[in-house]
Amino acid sequence: MTNAEANDDLPKIAIVPLANYSNSLKAHDLVTNLLRESLSDMGYDLVDNDSLRAGMRATRLRLVGEIDSAGSDQIAEQTGAEILMTGSLDIYLEQVNPEVSVSFRAYDCSTHRVIWAGCISTTGEDQAGLFGVGRLTNIQELTAKVVKTLIAKMPELSEQGRKPKHKPTKNDLKLMQEGRIAIVRFDNSTDVPNADAVVTNAMIEEAWQRGYDVVEPGELSRIRARLAADFQGGTSDSALAILRDEYGVAIVVTGTVTRFLPNRGVSIEAVPEIEFTIRSINPNSGEVMSSLSIERDGSARETIFGAGRVSAIGEVARQALRDSWNELIAGWIAKTPAALQTDTDGDQNAKR
């Protein structure tokens, strides 16, 4: 399907340039083209890339992998776009067992809200079924499968479309009533340049899937520029005040990646290893409400004959975040007034 066959019931989409944390411009272009192709096949009317770039140059918009409200207003006015899509290519490893990690977000220009966030990290070995059937060794084929699978999971973006299936716990619901959540980019204490992006994007996806109103990362970049201060793994009192007063943020989550070892070996039996910390911060007081230290490798869920083993480090991070989120939120609520602590005991161990 081409743009000429676009579904009039679906919103017009502009694709803001993706961030590229790989070392391959070719891979970045491949992911961008696959994203356009997937959205077009679903019937979305897409803003022409050349028109978007010309408009962004004319207004000196330098958005890459993120969006902000001022920029979205300009793009919407110039192009008629109702939804902006962006994201990043986080991992692209050409090796015996290739690995690809991609993250996307959809942003509503009228409400200035993230309306979908998703990421996938996988390897060719993770595609294998019984006796290794289905294993992929061609990274272009793996990339195509990753992008198409991720976009297929995106809820229809029309007003009449299907609603996203959020999975909040009781504790999540209590915090959502307090306000929005901001995920401050994790600090990176490893020698892998993209480690913080992988974990941060997995955290954004987890928060969105549970139903939190997630502040678009581009708004955090605006705050950094406004304060002329960079922050990762934490934030200043001034930034917390802006998040609280101007964005309605009630909870800030960040952390530090301290170990990040993708599966780079020749042997597919090797597993990735990751270690990171997570902290939740109350923007009203600046107090750290809860903190966790997490270590995980790809064999954490392995059973007989290697079933459950994970080769992609991004998926290891996602699993670790899913498993630890309830504990992070329970720690927050334990420090809050008694009214928010009702029914926490049974909820702490809730499983998604």
Average pLDDT of the residues of the chain: 88
The answer on 53 and 30 residing in a single domain is yes
Asked whether the predicted pLDDT for residue 26 surpasses 60, the reply is: yes
Same domain for 116 and 174?
no
Residue 263: half-sphere exposure toward Cβ, Cα within 13 Å: 30
Average pLDDT over residues 205-217: 96
Contacts for 32 with CB less than 8 Å, ≥ 6 apart: 15, 17, 18
Torsion sign (Cα): 47, 50, 55, 57: positive
Contact residues for 119 (Cβ-Cβ < 8 A; gap 6+): 87, 90, 101, 102, 103, 104, 150, 201, 202, 204, 205, 314, 318
Higher pLDDT, 306 or 204: 204
195 pLDDT higher than 60: yes
The pLDDT > 70 percentage for the chain reads: 87
Q: What is the CATH number of the domain that holds 291?
A: 3.40.50.10610
Structure tokens belonging to residue 218:
């581009």
Query: How does 125-134 read in b/e, with b if 16+ C-beta sit within 10 Å?
Result: bbbbeeeeee
Residues 160 and 181 in one domain: no
Q: Are residues 84 and 226 in the same domain?
A: no
Domain range for residue 325? 166-352
Q: Are 192 and 199 in contact (CB under 8 A)?
A: no
Residue 339 has pLDDT above 80, yes or no: no
Closest by CA position to 125, among listed 274, 270, 296, 333: 270
Q: Do 178 and 135 share a structural domain?
A: no
Which of 79-88, 126-135, 160-169, 341-350 has the least mean pLDDT? 341-350
Indicate the residue among 165, 180, 203 that finishes a domain: 165
Determine the Cα–Cα distance for residues 303 and 249; give it in Å rounded to an integer.
41
Question: What are the tens digits of pLDDT across the range 225-270?
Answer: 999 888 877 788 999 999 999 999 999 999 999 999 988 655 556 7
Q: In terms of domains, do 138 and 224 share one?
A: no
Same-domain status, 177 and 101: no
Q: Which segment of 8-17, 112-121, 340-349 scores lowest on mean pLDDT?
A: 340-349
Nearest partner of 311 among 174, 175, 158, 126, judged by Cα: 126
Q: Average of pLDDT values for 88-97?
A: 92
Report CA-CA distances (Å) from 121 to 81, 93, 99, 137, 226.
29, 11, 7, 15, 33
Q: Which of 149, 165, 181 is the last residue of a domain?
A: 165
302 in the same domain as 181: yes
Query: Of 71-80, 111-120, 259-268, 292-301, which gets the smallest average pLDDT?
Result: 259-268
Same domain, 208 and 270: yes
Among 87-101, 126-140, 150-164, 186-200, name the one with the lowest average pLDDT: 126-140
Give Cβ neighbours of residue 304 (< 8 Å, ≥ 6 apart): none
Q: C-alpha angle with apex 113: 254 to 216, nearest 5 degrees? A: 30
Q: Which residue, among 184, 100, 103, 185, has the nearest Cα to 137 in the 3D structure?
A: 100
> Which CA distances in Å does 261 have to 21, 90, 190, 254?
16, 14, 9, 20
User: Of 165, 181, 209, which residue sits at a domain end?
Assistant: 165
* 326 and 201 in a common domain: yes
Residues 154 and 221 in one domain: no
Tally of structural domains, the chain: 2
Backbone angles phi, psi at 215, to 5 degrees: -70, 130
Whether residues 116 and 219 share a domain: the answer is no
**Does residue 15 sit in helix, strand or coil?**
strand
